């Protein structure tokens, strides 16, 4: 009995510690939102990100950059905006639960996220019905901005831009006669494959389309199918460590195919196979002089980062500015007036190295696409952006 009580107490204590840990890492504050508190412009923003689970490394980065944006914008605008965390684990069902919580929290006037296209599809109808504006920093499925979710925006390019651009680059510069393309069974990945496949087909490239779950960590059987004629393997994946292992398996079997990855594979500390390419919807902000302050602060506070954080910073900043402009006009921030303000966003520059303005469907006008090549020592070099 004594042991049982001790174990239960230890378990509860550790959960409390875990809870404290996660809240202390957030910039969330308990201040009331959606109004003025002591003359300050107050509101709450929700963030939906995969803070735990298989891609927690990406979600953590997104959360950190959202926190940084709120902190910097509060200081610059004199606002009192707080951030409410929602962990979606990159699963639509979990995203729906978090979304319902956010919708029922009347203090939340806008949401950053969710991260995955499959999640946007799941939560879009809920946010639309509740009139909550939401801006993703990483969901790229083309059809998301087809008009069915009028309160949805994104600050990154969509698959119909990135997919054909990637495929076109591969055809033009890597000249494959045969290639293998492996999706990871998530909407993000299958969406990019759908956008790339017609371009390869039109160029007469023989394509072996394979599919593996994100949870798989051994690709040796798949790599055995890479023939000498297969000179490129395309991995539109979200887990960089998996691509690293794929590269190891290629080397283990002495195969020379070049890996061409996307977005989630941008991870200089993790995916380091020399000669590989990574296309990304986000820039390497450490190479943008105007972003040096943000990059330094992010590195000092959270360590190394990739390309998933900066777009979320941009998304959060758009909402922060919208809230500030609502307050400036003498109104109290609400979902509808913040939505109107977001629609009118017109920033001449941003952390992404480009202006931010949305078209009528919520897409970023002139969204860029970036391509990096990994050098002999694992360093990422920008090849092109368009």
Partner 1 sequence: MHFFVQELVNGLTTGSLYALVALGYSMVYGVLKLLNFAHGDLYMVGAYIGYFVIQWFGGASAVSIPVPLLLLIMFLLSGVGVGALGVAIERFAYRPLRDAPRIAPLITALGVSFFLENAALLLFGAQYRIYNTPEFISFNIGIHVGPLQIDIVRILVIVLSVALMVGLRLLVTRTRLGKQMRAVATDREAAEMMGINVDFTIAATFFIGSALAGVSGVMAGLVFNQVNNTMGFLAGLKAFTAAVVGGIGSIAGAMLGGMLIGIAESMITGYISSTYTNLIVFGILIAVMLVRPSGLLGRVQLQKV
Nearest to 225 by CA among 235, 214, 233, 217: 233
Q: Alpha-carbon torsion 296, 301, 302, 308, what sign?
A: negative
**Interacting stretch for partner 1, rule CB under 8 A, among 12-20, 99-107, 310-318, 364-372?**
12-20
Single out the residue of 32, 35, 40, 52 in contact with partner 1 (rule: CB under 8 A): 52
d(CA 248, CA 242): 10
Q: Is 195:160 a contact under the CB 8 Å cutoff?
A: yes
Which residue's CB is nearer to partner 1, number 110 or number 234? 234
Single out the residue of 182, 234, 319, 323 in contact with partner 1 (rule: CB under 8 A): 182
Alpha helices in the chain (DSSP H): 2-24, 56-77, 92-104, 117-130, 159-169, 187-202, 220-223, 240-252, 292-302, 309-328, 335-343
Single out the residue of 13, 16, 17, 76 in contact with partner 1 (rule: CB under 8 A): 17
Single out the residue of 88, 142, 242, 345 in contact with partner 1 (rule: CB under 8 A): 242
**Interacting stretch for partner 1, rule CB under 8 A, among 118-126, 193-201, 215-223, 323-331?**
215-223
Which residue's CB is nearer to partner 1, number 25 or number 336? 25
Single out the residue of 34, 45, 46, 59 in contact with partner 1 (rule: CB under 8 A): 59
Residue 4 within binding range of partner 1, rule CB under 8 A: yes
Q: How far is the CB of 6 from partner 1 (least distance, A)?
A: 7
Where b means 16+ CB within 10 Å and e means fewer, 99-129 reads beebbeeebbbbbbbbbbbbbbbbbbebbee
Backbone angles phi, psi at 278, to 5 degrees: -135, 120
Nearest to 155 by CA among 316, 267, 265: 316
Q: Is 285:295 a contact under the CB 8 Å cutoff?
A: yes
Which residue's CB is nearer to partner 1, number 192 or number 322? 192
Single out the residue of 23, 37, 101, 215 in contact with partner 1 (rule: CB under 8 A): 215
DSSP structural state of residue 364 = B
**Interacting stretch for partner 1, rule CB under 8 A, among 33-41, 109-117, 155-163, 243-251?**
243-251
Chain centroid to CA 46: 15
Q: Which of residues 161-180 bind partner 1 (CB under 8 A)?
A: none
Q: How far is the CB of 9 from partner 1 (least distance, A)?
A: 11
Q: How far is the CB of 64 from partner 1 (least distance, A)?
A: 11
Q: Which residues bind partner 1 (CB under 8 A)?
A: 1, 3-4, 6-7, 10-11, 14, 17-18, 21, 51-54, 56-57, 59-60, 182, 210-213, 215-218, 220-222, 224-225, 239-242, 244-245, 248, 251-254, 269-270
């Amino acid at each position: 009995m004594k042991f049982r009580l001790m174990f239960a107490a230890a378990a509860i204590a550790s959960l409390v510690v875990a809870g404290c840990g996660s809240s202390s890492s957030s910039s969330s504050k308990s201040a009331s939102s959606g109004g003025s508190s002591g003359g300050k412009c107050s509101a709450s923003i929700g963030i939906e990100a995969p803070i735990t689970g298989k891609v927690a490394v990406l979600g953590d980065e997104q959360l950190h950059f959202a926190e940084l944006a709120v902190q910097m914008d509060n200081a610059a605008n004199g606002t009192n905006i707080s951030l409410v965390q929602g962990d979606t684990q990159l699963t639509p069902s979990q995203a729906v639960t978090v979304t319902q919580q956010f919708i029922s929290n009347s203090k939340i006037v806008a949401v950053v996220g969710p991260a995955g296209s499959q999640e946007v599809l799941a939560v879009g109808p809920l946010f639309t019905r509740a009139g909550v504006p939401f801006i993703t920093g990483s969901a790229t499925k083309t059809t998301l901005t087809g008009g069915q979710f009028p309160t949805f925006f994104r600050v990154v390019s969509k698959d119909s831009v990135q997919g054909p651009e990637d495929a076109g680059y591969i055809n033009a510069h890597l000249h494959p006669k045969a290639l293998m393309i492996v999706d990871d069974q998530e909407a993000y990945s299958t969406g990019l494959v759908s956008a790339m496949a017609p371009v390869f087909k039109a160029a007469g490239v023989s394509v072996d389309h394979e599919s593996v779950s994100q949870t798989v960590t051994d690709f040796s059987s798949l790599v055995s199918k890479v023939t000498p004629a297969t000179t490129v393997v395309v991995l539109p994946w979200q887990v960089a460590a998996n691509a690293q292992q794929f590269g190891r398996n290629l080397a283990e079997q002495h195969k020379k195919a070049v890996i061409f990855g996307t977005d989630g594979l941008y991870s200089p500390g993790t995916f380091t196979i020399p000669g590989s390419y990574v296309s990304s919807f986000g820039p390497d902000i450490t190479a943008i002089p105007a972003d040096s302050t943000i990059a330094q602060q992010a590195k000092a506070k959270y360590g190394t980062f990739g390309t998933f954080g900066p777009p979320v910073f941009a998304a959060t900043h758009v909402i922060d500015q919208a809230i500030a402009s609502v307050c400036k006009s003498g109104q109290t921030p609400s979902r509808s007036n913040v939505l109107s303000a977001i629609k009118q966003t017109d920033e001449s520059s941003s952390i992404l190295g480009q202006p931010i303005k949305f078209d009528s469907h919520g897409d970023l006008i002139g969204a860029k696409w970036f391509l990096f090549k990994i050098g002999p020592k694992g360093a990422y070099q920008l090849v092109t952006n368009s």
